[in-house]
Amino acid sequence: MPAYKRQHYLPAAYLKYFSNDGANCSRRSFVYRCDEQGQRVVRVDSQCAAKWHYSKRDPAGAEEMFQGAEQEYCRCVDKLCEGRELTGSDYGRLLVNMFDFYVRNAVHKNLTGKEGIDAYRIRCAFFWSKLLGKTGVITKEDIQNHVEKYWGLQILIAPGTRHFITCDHPSVWTSINDDQPDLHLLTVPITPRLMAVAFDRRILSVIEQGMTEEDYLTLNAGPMSNAVSCVYSAVPFSDEQIAQMKAHLAGKEDPGCFIEEGNWRFKIAGLRPEHYFSFMQLSPPLM
């Protein structure tokens, strides 16, 4: 097979942490997958990839474009798994990857008439322009300054012996105000025991690392709701879970996400007050 022919829209560097290999996990590790057909064990690097997904013209260039960020992501998650503290820069890099997992995902139909890497760059431009409220050229310094000023990130631990699942589209973007829909909260399961919760500090704050059973169930429902075609776990799904997920995935509607030259349509989930998390508070309260 030509080098880089299979191109991952969800990095194997992300999914490997949901194998049962623990600290020895790699892209060759195995993970439990559940889809409309049921459950099976699959190798990490066989998942969430498509032939020439980003580029046939320059596959090596497309691969190189993502490698640095993926290596930084692994370095941050490895530190967390080892119980070491992240630096401010680490949190910033982790957050940018959390944003990017959504932007680069194959859930967005490419209607640009260009290669996938070009469509990805267009989505990036739309995203950062909207998030920063700035038009024109946006630099890495602009992004760093905005993230440091306005965004927070907390790592939460699953209660008891509970495990988080993940999916083929794991970055869940959430609005907490139907009247002002926008990206307020971002959650990504990063290991079976750890959930990364990012939040716009102008709207929210996270006040503790623990979570209730209800918090856990709501967070774990995020990847299932966001999934395009499958969910993943480090431990086997029960027969009841398999039946529930098969039915859910079989009945899912197309999310309608697409990218055109001058338009990006994406989906933000809603979170109503009765489902607010115990670990967060509004700051200031939304009116």
Token pair belonging to 195: 């959930």
- What's the pLDDT at 238? 94
Q: Is the pTM of this model over 0.85?
A: yes
- The predicted-structure confidence for 61-94, as pLDDT tens digits, reads as follows 999 999 999 999 999 999 999 999 999 999 999 9
- What's the pLDDT at 2? 66
Q: Are 179 and 270 in contact (CB under 8 A)?
A: no
- What's the pLDDT at 284? 66
- What's the pLDDT at 103? 97
Mean pLDDT, the chain cut into blocks of 10 residues (287 residues total): 84 96 92 96 97 95 93 96 94 95 97 97 96 91 93 94 96 83 92 96 86 94 94 96 92 92 91 86 66
- What's the pLDDT at 167? 97
- What's the pLDDT at 271? 86
- What's the pLDDT at 287? 44
